[in-house]
Amino acid sequence: MPDQTDIHIIYHSSDAPMSKWQEWLNRLDPRIRLVGLDDPAAQTAEVMITWSPPYGAIAALPHLKGVLSLAQGVDHLLDDPSLPRDITVGRLIDPFMSQSMAEWVMLAILKQHRDEAAYAEAATRKDWVCFEPRIPADYTVSVMGIGAIGGHVAEKVANLGFNVLGWSRTEKTISGVTSLTGTDGFAHCLRQADYVVSVLPLTDDTRDIYDAAAFQNMKSGAYFINCGRGLQVVEDDLIAALDQGHLSGACLDVFRTEPLPAEHPLWVHDKVTVWPHVSAQTSPITAAKQVIASIMAIRDGKPPVNPVDISRGY
């Protein structure tokens, strides 16, 4: 039963049931009442927490002061042409999610590095075959996007002993990682890497950034790993680079269209591993504390915990 102490927060996400967020937010603040977009209380709500709201929904809410992405990325919000450019936007930077993404990237690299598929195949033939061991320091991993999340990924990969390059808009200082910037830095990272790992946010500058030219710029035999955004990859160009034998394979968590359509050739490509966008899933259990803090900050007219610069795109 709502009473006047309730704080109505709009919830819109196809990702997790509202009841799960309600439960974990209420453990920290019993006043929070999540409401759907069509609930009359949405008309007076000041904050929305969301993944991929319908275009126009945010602009139509008269009292909305801010929106929190229930994800690390915000492209699903900023893509809306009607998004008021002066609205406050926040995103998640959650140590659990950053670690989860690092685990996924390390798994993708190590499966290749340790010949996991070849050993699994040999085991089906009861074949006790042994391949030459590889030394991580002989291999270069380029992590494209070494901000708050990619930087953590790069550091973890460096801890495995690989030679790690990192590319970002501005120079970063990360233990074990050589930081590069600019178009020359981008090309250098692609040319040097045995593994190209993309953790980039989707912006006007990164849309379609992995096209035929980028794939050709990669070292022959390079392996491509993407947990950034699907719209950064020209998928036909990726398939061509794999079919030509220029790239040795790809491990993809994100796609231009999600869910990946059943008839999409990436599902059945023998050099591609498809994951259903799960490299860093949001957990209300770990994120609730920062979501509450951001909700309260926005209601007070202050920046959320992880503010987004709308003009920059992340």
Residue 202 interacts with ligand GLV (CB under 6 A): yes or no: no
Q: Which two tokens stand for residue 96?
A: 């659990």
Question: 207 CB contacts (<8 Å, ≥6 apart)?
Answer: 231, 232
Residue 90 interacts with ligand GLV (CB under 6 A): yes or no: no
Residue 249 interacts with ligand GLV (CB under 6 A): yes or no: no
Cα distances (Å, whole numbers) of residue 142 to 8, 91, 129, 254: 44, 25, 31, 18
Residue 105 interacts with ligand GLV (CB under 6 A): yes or no: no
Closer to ligand GLV by Cβ: residue 45 or 74: 74
Per CB under 6 A, the segment of 71-79, 120-128, 154-162, 213-221 that binds ligand GLV is 71-79
Per CB under 6 A, the segment of 27-35, 66-74, 173-181, 294-302 that binds ligand GLV is 66-74
Closer to ligand GLV by Cβ: residue 185 or 304: 304
Q: Kindly name the residue from 85, 277, 299, 312 that is annotated as catalytic.
A: 277
Residue 214: how many other CB atoms lie within 10 Å: 22
Closer to ligand GLV by Cβ: residue 177 or 202: 202
- Are 32 and 22 in contact by the 8 Å Cβ rule? The answer is yes
Alpha carbons 234 and 54: distance in angstroms, whole number: 25
Residue 91 falls in the annotated catalytic set? no
Residue 76 falls in the annotated catalytic set? no
> What minimum distance in Å lies between the beta carbon of 72 and ligand GLV?
3
Among 280, 287, 295, 298, binds ligand GLV (CB under 6 A): 280
Closer to ligand GLV by Cβ: residue 7 or 70: 70
Q: Kindly name the residue from 12, 91, 113, 229 that is annotated as catalytic.
A: 229
Residue 73 interacts with ligand GLV (CB under 6 A): yes or no: yes
Among 32, 46, 72, 158, binds ligand GLV (CB under 6 A): 72
Per CB under 6 A, the segment of 30-38, 69-77, 170-178, 204-212 that binds ligand GLV is 69-77
Residue 130: how many other CB atoms lie within 10 Å: 8
Residue 68 interacts with ligand GLV (CB under 6 A): yes or no: no
> What minimum distance in Å lies between the beta carbon of 204 and ligand GLV?
17
- Count, residues near ligand GLV per rule CB under 6 A: 4
Residue 174 interacts with ligand GLV (CB under 6 A): yes or no: no
Closer to ligand GLV by Cβ: residue 145 or 166: 145
Among 61, 64, 71, 251, binds ligand GLV (CB under 6 A): 71
Closer to ligand GLV by Cβ: residue 48 or 280: 280
Quick one: three-class SS letters along the chain? CCCCCCEEEEEEECCCCHHHHHHHHHHHCCCEEEECCCCHHHHHCCEEEEECCCCCCCCCCCCCCEEEECCCCCHHHHCCCCCCCCCEEECCCCHHHHHHHHHHHHHHHHHHHCCHHHHHHHHHCCCCCCCCCCCHHHCEEEEECCCCCHHHHHHHHHHCCCEEEEECCCCCCECCEEEECHHHHHHHHHHHCCEEEECCCCCCCCCCCECHHHHHHCCCCEEEEECCCHHHECHHHHHHHHHCCCEEEEEECCCCCCCCCCCCHHHHCCCEEECCCCCCCCCHHHHHHHHHHHHHHHHCCCCCCCECCCCCCC
Closer to ligand GLV by Cβ: residue 73 or 150: 73
Residue 230 interacts with ligand GLV (CB under 6 A): yes or no: no
Residues at the interface with ligand GLV (CB under 6 A): 71-73, 280
The catalytic residue positions are: 229, 277
